[in-house]
Amino acid sequence: MDYRDRHVIVTGGTGALGTAVVGALLGAGAFCHVPCLNDTERQAFSHRDHPRVTLIANGDLTDEGAVGRLFTSAPKLWASIHLAGGFAFAPIGKTAKQDVMRQIQMNFLTCYLCCRAAIEAIGRSGGGRIVNVAARPALEWRTGANMTAYTASKAAVAALTVALAEEVAKDGILVNAVAPSIMDTPANRAGMPKADFAAWPKVEEVTRTILFLASPDNKVSRGAIVPVYGRS
């Protein structure tokens, strides 16, 4: 997949999946624009010194103004990949309103605002791609027991993706999402030390699906929520 001279925004780009996505995009020739929360996050990012990486101190993706500034910083935007989000595991009896709102803000609102800004920025470039990240419970609701707030917020991301894909296809913008199961990351291994790590999808494997959906090679796929479950 050839991303030479194409500009791509990657939210959540400093996380485990994001680092893999940015690395793969750089390998394909892209210019990557990555928002970060603070200097600690910036210093820990392995691609921070790459000449085609622009790190943007613009961490609050729930703020319309901050999101607007992020998307005006990338010239001739081709694609926007939205990986930012958060997870919470708790039964509904222990999930208060503030916990629900936090999941909605971290997962759905950030995605919504970034999609909204991306449509305008990509439209100025004549078309491009958007890729969101839902989750397995967004497709298989029964797997969301004991994480109902997270499940509902990711289901909203899935619904947004499909509705938006229909809305902007006429503008040459293809919108899709991936829905990972638990991915093989250091944090997930530490949190679930007795799990079968071999069955979990690797971030590099999920990355390849994301890169295709965001690439010029994807000429027809839109409105898809692609399961990336591995053997789990």
Model confidence pTM above 0.85: yes
Tell me what the mean pLDDT of segment 90-117 comes to: 98
Q: Is the pLDDT of residue 232 over 80?
A: yes
Mean residue pLDDT of the chain comes to 96
Question: How would residue 120 be classed by pLDDT, with cut points 50, 70 and 90?
Answer: very high
pLDDT digits (tens, 9 = 90+) for 192-210: 999 999 999 999 999 999 9
Q: Flag whether pLDDT at 6 surpasses 80.
A: yes
Instruction: Kindly tell me if the per-residue pLDDT of 212 is higher than 80.
Output: yes
* 190, 194, 102, 98: CA torsion to nearest 10: -120
DSSP alpha helix (H) spans, the chain: 16-27, 39-44, 64-72, 97-103, 110-125, 136-139, 148-168, 186-191, 203-214
Q: Is the pLDDT of residue 142 over 90?
A: yes
For the chain, percent of residues with pLDDT exceeding 70: 100
pLDDT digits over 32-75, tens only? 999 998 888 999 999 999 999 999 987 699 999 999 999 998 88
Q: What is the pLDDT of residues 158-177, one digit of tens each?
A: 999 999 999 999 999 999 99
Report domain extents, the chain.
Answer: 7-228
Look at residue 89 and give its three-state secondary structure. coil
CB–CB of 229/183 below 8 Å? no
pLDDT value for 38: 87
Instruction: Tell me the CATH number of domain 7-228, given options 3.10.105.10, 3.40.50.720, 3.90.230.10, 1.10.1240.10.
Output: 3.40.50.720
